[in-house]
Chains A and B, each alone.
Chain A
Amino acid sequence: MMNLYPTKKFRFPITAECISPDVFQDKKIEEIRRLTVWEGNKQRILGELFKVKESESETKMVVINIHGDVSRVRRIGAYMTSGQIVIYGNAGMHLGEEMEGGEIIVRGNVGCWAGSMMKGGKIEIYGNAGNYLGAPYRGVNKGMRGGEIVVHGNVGNEAGAYMRRGVIKVYGNAGQFAGLRMQNGTIYVQKDCEARVGACMKDGKIIVSGFLESVLPTFTIEGLKEKVKIENDETAEGPFYLFLGDTAEDGKGKLYVSKTKNPHLNRYEKLL
């Protein structure tokens, strides 16, 4: 098990995609210290920015523990396929970008683009996540293609944009445009959600258990449902209004919105 301790409070953006179990695997501690990272426009070695310590581990899996604030460190766990990263502090942008397997646990907040274009594995965030959770890089239309992201706090805008498969569970609030242009997969928001949910969605499922600011005019009411499955044996208790959309894209996505938390949507009942 490798333990990383930041040697200072970082001022400049640090690009450190080498902090990944795949890179650390089979490397001696000295080799890990010599891995290349960038601090702003200056190239450094990992040992300059982090104190690296090895400790006993019960598992054979590569585990990396980061102790301290790494909110300016970007691309931690990018492209990882196995192992585990545990961050005891806040983490920076592009955490677990394009990861294919393994697990990342963050005991703090995370910047934007966490789990961007993720293909597999699991990210669990105990604090809040920024904008574009699981969403792709600018101009790319392939979002999350598998895996699971669980956020115990709130998320920013465009969570799960362009999603194709996988699950995002948010136990706090979500910003606007959750599930924008999604094609498949599931997004669950336990608390409140800002407007434009499911904008331009083609297919897939979005469940909002809390208050939803408004439903886009391009969604049509389909019915009422008592209970909705999130994944495996996890369900969300309703009753829920079921909307279909987005008709602006001839979409057939399902948007479930809590009936009890959203009395302003009562007007749709006359159409049922």
Chain B
Amino acid sequence: MRTVKHVTCPVCGCLCDDLELTIKDEKVVKVKNGCALCKAKFLGYSKHRVLKPLVRKNGRFFEVSYEEAVSRAAEILTEANYPLLYGWSMTSCEAVSAGIELAEEIGGVIDTTSTLCHGPSTLGIQDVGISSATLGQVRHRADLIVYWGSNPLIAHPRHMERYTIFRKGRFQKEKRKLIVVDVRKTETAETADIFLQIKPNMDYEVLQALRALIRDQELDVDEVAGIPTERLEEIADTMVECRFGALFFGSGLTMTRGKNRNIDAVLSLVSDLNKLTKFIAMPMRGHFNVTGADMILTWQTGYPYAVDFSLGYPRYNPGETSAVDILLREESDAALVVASDPVASLPRKAAEHLAENPLIVVDPHMSATARMADVVLPSTFVGIESGGTAYRMDHVPLPLKKIVEPPEGILSDEEILRIILSEVKRKKAEQMENP
């Protein structure tokens, strides 16, 4: 029995780095400091594993060697006219980096799960800019917290405990004020000082109204999205009067009517507030390294997600080069899915197109997507069986630890992608010699 301290949690974008794990016979038996989601992952990850590479022949899976599976995967990717490389949010930055190299080599489109959650946030940030901070600054200084379209008590269970409402800061000893804006009374809303229950799909109107009120403009209407104008004036005053405000927004804002324009409005609101006080905004990123995937893509290609290498250089235009749209228009002819389960999360028509074409899956589990695949390459769990780097939602990079040994012979995502890449290069060189 041994104990490992300061472990980073590979579950959500909070990336809590204070876990203490007890290991017995190369298995995690006890998790200290973790939330329910964290415990479920560390104590249950070893179930439903794939332990041998699989290749589908005549409709059935056959166990093969990594060599054979990689060769088949490289063949599919080299032949494809418009391959899609999707996932990347549940693996290490090092694996993402290898994936980008592979996408460039095969002239494919690489997109992350951002496309389904905070892609609109990125578009909003590119349009108006973002005033941001680290979670440490929020923890020590913020006296007003706003959660908009986000329910951290369920989705990011330790966010409030570590950084906001339930934590005292070095320069913020008194209780902070909490505003929650949502369409229903969530668990987080129960703890709020001010809860604004707005009509569904009307976030944009409320945000714009708040912006006008902050500019001392009068509104011609008596209510916005079911909220009386006087109440909105009170909220605007509360926001202006704070010393350091932090607004966190979730998929309740990014994926409802208006999408990136909601984010455009929320970031403009924060920008307006900064003329009067200090205010920051931050997207509540979901998967543990979705921020990292966006960061690495930005370093290496100049664009954060939905990057198309088909013309030999990176191009970016979500709506045109984003995974869901490509699949819905039935344009791709092969796909590589890494550390994600799109069949379970994409719209049905998109998932059908994904499954109809040659599909390669790199995943530790037999996920719904892996069941539809032509090639399954089993990998290690990043942050448990292999190390790497991940980015927290506030863009702070943190190390992921290798805590236990992986099952015998199982490679990491990065190793698998590197050998696919070298096999693709070898096959392309072969084709050049014998066209």
Q: Which residues of A contact B (CB under 8 A)?
A: 11-13, 15, 38-42, 72, 74, 93, 112-113, 131-132, 137-139, 141, 176-177, 180, 196, 199-200, 214, 216-221, 246-250, 268, 271
Apart from the given pairs A196-B258, A220-B220, 9 other A-B contacts in the complex at a CB distance below 8 Å: A12-B81, A40-B82, A131-B319, A138-B126, A218-B208, A218-B219, A248-B211, A248-B265, A248-B268
The segment out of B13-21, B308-316, B397-405, B413-421 that lies at the interface is B308-316
Q: Does B356 contact A (CB under 8 A)?
A: no
| Chain B nearest CB, measured from A175 CB (Å) | 11
- 19 residue pairs A–B, Cβ–Cβ below 8 Å: A12-B82, A15-B311, A41-B83, A41-B108, A41-B310, A93-B320, A131-B319, A176-B258, A196-B258, A200-B208, A217-B205, A217-B212, A218-B209, A218-B219, A220-B220, A247-B217, A248-B211, A248-B265, A249-B211
* Candidates B127, B215, B265; contact of A141 at CB < 8 Å: B127
B215 and A250 contact, CB distance less than 8 A: yes
Contact with A along B201-226 (1 / 0, CB 8 A): 00011001101100101111100100
Q: Check A247/B258 contact, CB under 8 A, given A12-B333, A196-B204, A218-B217.
A: no
Q: Which B residues are closer than 8 A to A by beta carbons?
A: 80-83, 106-108, 123, 126-127, 204-205, 208-209, 211-212, 215, 217-221, 224, 257-258, 261, 264-265, 268, 309-312, 316-320, 330-331, 333
Question: Contacts A112-B319, A196-B261, A199-B208; is A41 near B220 (CB within 8 Å)?
Answer: no
From B212, B257, B330, A218 is in contact (CB under 8 Å) with: B212
Q: Which among A72, A113, A138 has the highest number of chain B CB atoms within 10 Å? A: A138
Residues of B within 8 A of A176 (CB): 257-258
Nearest 10 A/B pairs, CB to CB: A41-B107, A40-B81, A40-B82, A248-B211, A41-B310, A139-B126, A247-B217, A218-B212, A247-B212, A217-B209
Known interface pairs A177-B261, A180-B261, A217-B220. Does A11 touch B333 (Cβ–Cβ under 8 Å)? yes
Please, which residues of chain A bring their CB within 8 A of the CB of B212?
A: 217-218, 247-248
Q: Which residues of A contact B204 (CB under 8 A)?
A: 196, 199
CB proximity of B326 to chain A, nearest CB, Å: 8
Measured CB to CB, the closest approach of chain A to B233, in angstroms, equals 12
Q: Separation in Å of the B262 CB from the closest CB of chain A?
A: 10
| Measured CA separation A180–B81 after assembly (Å) | 36
Which A residues are in CB contact (< 8 Å) with B209?
217-218, 248
Across the interface, B82 reaches (CB within 8 A) one of A13, A131, A247, namely A13
Q: A138 to B320, alpha carbons, bound, how many Å?
A: 11
Query: Which residues of A sit under 8 angstroms from B257, Cβ to Cβ?
Result: 176
CA distance A85 to B219 in the complex (A): 47
Q: Select one of A12, A139, A216, A271 contacting B331, CB under 8 A.
A: A12
With contact pairs A199-B261, A217-B220, A218-B217 given, residues A13 and B316 touching in the complex (Cβ less than 8 Å): no
Distance A93 CA – B326 CA, assembled complex (angstroms): 13
